[in-house]
Structure 1
């Protein structure tokens, strides 16, 4: 679970707008239309050793797409593993049979339903389990976050420009309400989480197949997120799921898939009230 009590903030429209401003990489040359079947859109991104899909956590349409993405890779015989921001590293369904119940799967992943509603992610998770594909936790364990905040070596994991952009993203993701003294430590947590997810992908890698990571879109941006921590010999593709139009499409991803806009919501209101 993210260190903030507002885990949606780093995948909110505020974060998406910031990503557009700091985009540093090029888009995919071939991008099927937004109304193309998910299986076709997935096919356009293959071959890939790792496919990173970045969601807005509270967008129902994104969870449907994630379920279809799992199924598309399963049908092609390409899914090596399903890695999740929504479960901590060290948790895995690898020892379970494909007939395992949802209760068994949730136990295997130490699932936190308050942080990540099972009704949102269960369909994608169970599609992988029922196909005999391991589902692995990829997020940094909560008990490691305090150490990450003090780990100065994490500052060197990004270049100066990217680290500054990540710090701006942390500010925006917390509605510009964090004390400035907390920006560097909280940025280190974000970097540590990205690195943990990258390590989970590397561990799950199978030649000729694809590891699928589901996470918030802030983790999938090529300039700042998980791709920065992956070996250069991995073929990595990134997708941003975008709820509604947000101006020009971000070049921080290989592909941007637009979904219907959500009702307007002030994501910072409750945080302002409690500050």
Structure 2
């Protein structure tokens, strides 16, 4: 089933698809103290990588950064056992980093800034071996209101440039919901009073109407931020159609 690979590999269209929030240029030094900061990125926007590092560095210097959670690594992985002097190779091994899906040089500055500050970096994404199970779990549909479920299904459809057969949209949407739940569970488990957990994920995952915020405990103060979109000159739909062509 090639459509599973299409959603498991990070899409660049809208940072894992979705209707954008109001874009903003965040300034860490002026941030209101929150339990959870959700940074929604465009996966190939170079300026966003610099923003991640700026947030991590600033919050760590203030003593407020509790953990850096990532869509880019699977739930259950962590640098918590490493020393601040750990090498990049040791960090990649601890996070079981997939360099095919997520170019390490893009995320290394923020990840290593957290490690050097003695702050754990943790994987938050749904492990691949649980994604096929999620496809068949219709209870995931009930985690969203009917309107939100319809919006999420449309986001998946749009994010795949209408290349996916209609019958495959519901199971693919369940994977997206399950990934949001996984990230929310990870972030909630890390939250501590007076500290901030930062999650870096595609912009579609930080949407308050359908994404991670829906699955977080109401006791947590949460700030979702979509980083401003960056023009890359790429035709993402053409690239996706090429990727989904039958192999000869």
**Common fold, TM-score beyond 0.5?**
yes
Match of 2:19 in 1: 19
User: 1:126-162: per-residue Cα shift (whole Å, max 9, x none)?
Assistant: 0000000000000000000000000011001110101
**Aligned-partner Cα distance in 2 for 1:10–1:202:** 28
1:262 has 2:231 as partner: yes
The correspondence of residues 164-243 of structure 1 with structure 2, limited to 5 A, is: 164-243=150-229
Partner secondary structure for residue 126 of structure 1: helix
1:216-250 CA deviation, whole Å, 9 max, x = no partner?
A: 0000111110000000010000110122xxxxxxx
SS in 1 for 2:161: coil
Residue 203 (structure 1) shift? 1.2
Which structure 2 segments of 5+ residues have no match?
A: none
Residue 133 of structure 1 is aligned with which of 119, 126, 130?
119
Question: Structure 1: where are the runs of 5+ without partners?
Answer: 244-260
User: Who is 2:11 aligned against?
Assistant: 8
Aligned to 1:91, what secondary structure does the other structure show? coil
Instruction: Supply the distance in 1 between the matched residues of 2:13 and 2:58 (Cα, whole angstroms).
Output: 27
User: Which has the bigger relative contact order, CA under 8 A and spacing at least 6?
Assistant: 2
Secondary structure, in 3 states, of the residue corresponding to 1:242? coil
Normalising by structure 1, we get a TM-score of 0.83
Instruction: Give the TM-score, by structure 2 length.
Output: 0.91
How large is the Cα RMSD of the aligned pairs? 1.9
Q: Check the 8 A contact 2:134/2:175 in 1, yes or no.
A: yes
Residue number in structure 2 paired with 1:47: 33
